[in-house]
Amino acid sequence: RPPNMPILHPLPTFHSLFHHHINTTNTEFALSSLLTFCTKQPLHPLFASQLHARIILTGHQHNRFLNTKLVHLYSKCNMLLHANTVFHTIQHHDHVSWTSIIAAFAQNGRPTQALLLPNCFTFATVITASTHLEQTASFHAHVVHLGCHSNQYVVSSLIDSYSKSGKLNHSILIYNQTLHRDVVLLNSMIAAYSQNLRGEEAFQLFVQMHTTGQCPTDHTYSSILNSCATLTALQQGRQVHSLITKIGSDTNVFVASSLVDMYSKCGNIDEARRIFDQLPHRNSILWTSMITGYAHCGRGADGLELFEQLVKEQGMTPDNICFTAVLTACNHAGFVDRATEYFNKMGMEYGLTPQLDQYACMVDLYGKTGQLIKAKKMLEDMPFEPNAVMWSSFLGSCKVYAQVDLGREAANHLFKMDPYNAAPYVTMANIYAEAGMWEEVLQVRKLMRENGVKKTAGWSWIEVDKGVHVFSVSDTSHPRLQDIYVELNKLTLEMMEAGYMHVMKYVSEDNTNECILLKLVYTGFYLPSASFILATIPKNVIKVIFVLK
Convert the pLDDT of each residue in 10-34 to its tens digit: 445 445 444 443 444 457 777 888 8
pLDDT at 383: 93
Q: Which of 235-239, 338-342, 473-477 has the lowest mean pLDDT?
A: 473-477
pLDDT at 180: 82
**Cβ atoms 356, 391 nearer than 8 A:** no
6 falls in which pLDDT band (50, 70, 90)?
very low
Residue 136, Ramachandran bin (φ over 0: left; ψ between -120 and 50: alpha; else beta): alpha
pTM of the model: 0.67
pLDDT at 102: 76
464 falls in which pLDDT band (50, 70, 90)?
low
Taking only the tens place, the pLDDT of each residue in 496-545 is 788 766 555 555 544 444 444 444 444 544 555 555 555 554 555 656 55
Average pLDDT over residues 419-444: 93
pLDDT > 80? residue 351: yes
pLDDT > 90? residue 221: yes
pLDDT at 226: 93
398-406 long-range contacts (CB < 8 A, ≥24 apart) are 398/367, 398/372, 398/431, 399/427, 399/430, 399/431, 399/434, 400/368, 401/370, 401/372, 402/431, 402/434, 402/435, 403/372, 403/431, 404/431, 404/432, 404/435, 404/437, 406/372, 406/376
pLDDT at 144: 77
Taking only the tens place, the pLDDT of each residue in 86-130 is 887 776 666 677 778 778 877 777 765 555 555 566 666 667 767
Percentage of the residues of the chain whose pLDDT score is greater than 70? 77
- Candidates 293, 318, 299, 295; CA nearest to 308 is 318
Cα dihedral 196→197→201→204 (10° resolution): 120
Three-class SS state of 500: coil
Taking only the tens place, the pLDDT of each residue in 156-213 is 888 988 898 889 999 999 999 888 888 888 999 999 999 998 888 999 999 988 888 8
pLDDT at 518: 45
Instruction: Specify which of 141-150, 423-432, 520-529, 537-546 reaches the highest per-range mean pLDDT.
Output: 423-432
Q: Alpha-carbon distance 303 to 288, whole Å?
A: 9
- Candidates 165, 329, 190; CA nearest to 258 is 190
pLDDT at 549: 46
- Higher-confidence residue of 113 and 264: namely 264
